Amino acid sequence: MAFPVHTSTRTAPEARGEEFGTRWSTETQATYRRYADLFASLGATGSDVREWAALALDRTAEWAPHLAAEMAGLASGAGLETWQVAALNARTEILAALRDDGAGECSTAVVLPGGGLPPRTLQTWDWLDAMRGGSVLWEYGRVRTFTEFGVLAKIGVNRAGLGVHFNPL
């Protein structure tokens, strides 16, 4: 399976987000609709999602204002409200508020082969068929992240070789 690749030419967070959102507006809007449908299927109302997303955006702005600015730029470029992009970025927290069993999450494996060989890592992303086709490889600065349209980052590695996976197991 081939994944779309986006290499940002902008470095300022809001401009980088707007560039991405403009280029991938259709895909970002589709990702939002899929998550909105998922949240609704688990009992969330539109106002619930908006409230949780606004809270996540406020907390992000307090902790990392540049990330909140990037979400605002992405929303502007994609033709979405900022809270909608915040909902995408807070999807794990919203899902946690809606269910507490963690069923269906991704799996991560890391192998340390020894003998001076580098670690090998893998993460499955098979938790929900409806999300298939919503992935993108996004490069900016010294970061390469495999993520979903509208989500600032998920799985990534920087040029120093430091990699990150995220699983709420």
Angle CA(81)–CA(93)–CA(6) in degrees, nearest 5? 55
Rounded-to-integer distance, Cα 134 and Cα 27, Å: 7
* Residue 11, pLDDT above cutoff 60: yes
Q: What mean pLDDT comes out for the span 38-44?
A: 94
pLDDT at residue 67, as a whole number: 97
Cα–Cα dist 169/63, whole Å: 24
pLDDT value at position 26? 97
Annotate 97-128 with b (16+ C-beta within 10 A) or e (fewer). bbeeeeeebbeeeeeeeeeeeeeeeebeeeee
